[in-house]
């Protein structure tokens, strides 16, 4: 019986002999057992399709809205090329590529919600002959995403969006310089000024009215289109779109409209989840009035004399001095004596034995009202700041919040939140605690009120004072009313004893 090598030699010989003689020489027939055997083996392909997973872009984030795609199927991408822009509940970020290759599939459309750990797109990756296994790389991406999510739920405050990094951590989004003209023109909501200048909330309003961003001049920084810009545009074109009254349907004449379902924005969705968790916290409210007459006088002096505040700057701009940095400093001084208010409640390490973790750093979240909703950037290590540096830092994070440019680090690790509701209006409020923190403070509107004062001779007189109501909410499971009252008293005493000379700024 011939072995395999002999059969191969006979086949080769027969073929060569036929070519030499110019005739067709048939090779001897092969045994059936030989034909059934396989003599080929597979080798690793130089290219492989990899699913690119959405990494955890911030602690507490479980899903993101796709704002725009910078690529489409068939496009070539290099490492660190922009893939897409996503909007979390707090900020928009740009996702960049880890690989070189060709995009084969997009798993989501614009405005879809993508879950952390799910594939964003598929990339046919070049140079796979380095031994890297597709399934192993995908498993690693999934493990990174799941471990990030687990770390969020067990160790970190959820007052705001928190961050975790990685090799494929998304870069914060600027205007989409790399987006092609074709991809920009294909989406009527992208506009000539770039998708980075239209937030999801404004994008939704534009869709409702069938408007194109390129027709609207944005009044925000760098031409960003604000909600107010869209509303003004709608109001300006409304008078020109009149029609005969006889053609108006009866239900419109009666002022009736059809119900319209409106999906929650990413920020609203995160607020829904956070407030639902807060329902498990037994709140108690404590309010007290603080005399800010001396502080208001000091602020007035700085407002009238710009030279006094020339050393309070953020970049090239002079920072406006307000009450808020003084409140943060007073609060930091107070919680040194009452650390329970600067704590987080840990119920995950041992559910049967909850514990308080007194935080060494005074990281105070500052609620900022923006066109996209309420954001809470964090001022880190307040205990190490002066009033001047606090004013500068508050100005910085507030500006970034309004521009939608906060990075994950700006949203990380709040230990106590301060809401300056008085800047809008209102005096007393019952603020809601954000788990796992134990307290929150709201600052009301400063009012001028008449008050009695006793002069040196013992006579009473009526004078004008500036007063503010500070409203506290605390977790009654771990804090009692007396502790909160004493802490509040210390905050008030510090604010009322401010030196009118301005030395406190240093």
DSSP state of 198: B
Two structure tokens written together for 405: 């440019």
Say how many CA atoms lie within 13 Å of 263 toward its Cβ: 12
Q: How many residues does the chain have?
A: 506
CB atoms within 10 A of CB 144: 18
Beta bridge partners of 313: 318
Residue showing tokens 């007052």: 159
User: Is 190 strand, coil or helix?
Assistant: coil
Q: Give the residue among 402, 345, 423 at the shortest CA–CA distance from 159.
A: 345
User: Is 294 strand, coil or helix?
Assistant: helix
Alpha-carbon distances of 183 from 94, 128, 188, 205, rounded to whole Å:
16, 30, 10, 21
Among residues 222, 348, 480, 499, which one is catalytic?
A: 480
Assess whether 480 carries a catalytic annotation. yes
Whether 495 and 342 have beta carbons less than 8 Å apart is answered as no
Assess whether 122 carries a catalytic annotation. no
According to DSSP, the β-strands at 439-443 and 416-419 are parallel
Residue showing tokens 């600052």: 443
DSSP-derived secondary structure for 388-422: HHHHHHHHHHHHHHHHT---GGGGS--SEEEE-GG
Q: Give the residue among 479, 158, 468 at the shortest CA–CA distance from 330.
A: 468
Q: Which segments of 31-100 are extended strands (E)? A: 48-53, 63-69, 76-77, 82-87, 92-96
Question: Cα(342)–Cα(62) distance, rounded to whole angstroms?
Answer: 26
Residue showing tokens 């916290």: 281
Cα angle 186, 169, 179; round to 5: 20
Question: Cα(354)–Cα(374) distance, rounded to whole angstroms?
Answer: 30
DSSP state of 226: P
Among residues 233, 283, 288, 476, which one is catalytic?
A: 476
CB environment 302-313: b (16+ within 10 A), e (fewer): beeeeeebeebe
Catalytic residue numbers read 476, 480
């Amino acid at each position: 019986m011939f072995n395999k090598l002999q059969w191969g030699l006979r086949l080769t010989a027969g073929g060569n002999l036929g070519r030499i003689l110019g005739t067709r020489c048939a090779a001897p027939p092969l045994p059936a057992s030989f034909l059934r055997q396989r003599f080929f083996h597979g080798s690793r392909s130089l290219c492989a399709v990899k699913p690119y997973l959405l990494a955890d872009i911030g602690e507490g984030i479980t899903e993101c809205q796709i704002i725009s795609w910078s690529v489409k199927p068939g496009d070539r991408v290099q490492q660190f090329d922009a893939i897409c822009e996503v909007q979390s509940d707090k900020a928009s970020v740009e996702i960049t590529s880890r690989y070189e290759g060709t995009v084969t599939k997009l798993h989501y459309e614009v405005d879809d919600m993508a879950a952390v750990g799910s594939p964003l797109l598929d990339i046919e990756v070049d140079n796979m002959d380095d031994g890297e296994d597709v399934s192993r790389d995908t498993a690693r991406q999934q493990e990174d995403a799941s471990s990030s999510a687990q770390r969020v739920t067990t160790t970190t405050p959820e007052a705001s969006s928190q961050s975790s990094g990685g090799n494929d951590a998304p870069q914060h989004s600027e205007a989409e310089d790399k987006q092609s003209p074709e991809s920009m023109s294909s989406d009527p909501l992208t506009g000539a000024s770039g998708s980075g200048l239209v937030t999801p909330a404004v994008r939704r309003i534009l869709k409702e009215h069938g408007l194109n961003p390129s027709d609207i001049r944005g009044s925000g920084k760098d031409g960003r289109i604000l909600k107010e810009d869209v509303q003004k545009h709608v109001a300006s074109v409304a008078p020109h779109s009149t029609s005969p009254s006889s053609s108006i349907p009866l239900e419109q004449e009666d002022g009736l409209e059809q119900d319209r379902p409106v999906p929650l924005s990413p920020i609203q969705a995160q607020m829904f989840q956070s407030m639902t968790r807060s329902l498990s916290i037994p709140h108690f409210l404590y309010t007290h009035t603080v005399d800010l007459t001396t502080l208001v006088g000091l602020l007035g002096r700085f407002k009238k004399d710009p030279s006094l505040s020339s050393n309070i700057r953020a970049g090239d701009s002079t920072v406006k001095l307000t009450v808020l940095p003084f409140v943060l400093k007073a609060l930091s001084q107070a919680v040194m004596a009452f650390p329970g208010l600067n704590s987080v409640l840990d119920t995950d390490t041992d559910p049967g034995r909850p514990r308080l973790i007194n935080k060494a750093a005074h990281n105070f979240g500052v609620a900022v009202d923006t066109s996209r909703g309420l954001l809470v950037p964090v001022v880190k290590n307040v205990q190490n700041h002066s009033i001047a540096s606090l004013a500068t830092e508050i100005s910085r994070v507030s500006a970034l919040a309004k521009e939608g440019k906060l990075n994950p680090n700006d949203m990380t690790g709040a230990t106590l939140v301060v809401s300056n509701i008085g800047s809008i209006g209102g005096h007393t409020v019952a603020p809601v605690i954000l788990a796992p923190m134990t307290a929150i403070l709201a600052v009301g509107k400063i009012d001028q009120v008449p008050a009695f004062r006793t002069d040196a001779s013992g006579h009473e007189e009526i004078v004008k004072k500036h007063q503010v109501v500070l409203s506290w909410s605390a977790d009654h499971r771990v804090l009692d009313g007396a502790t909160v009252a004493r802490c509040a008293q210390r905050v008030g005493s510090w604010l009322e004893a401010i030196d009118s000379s301005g030395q406190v700024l240093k």
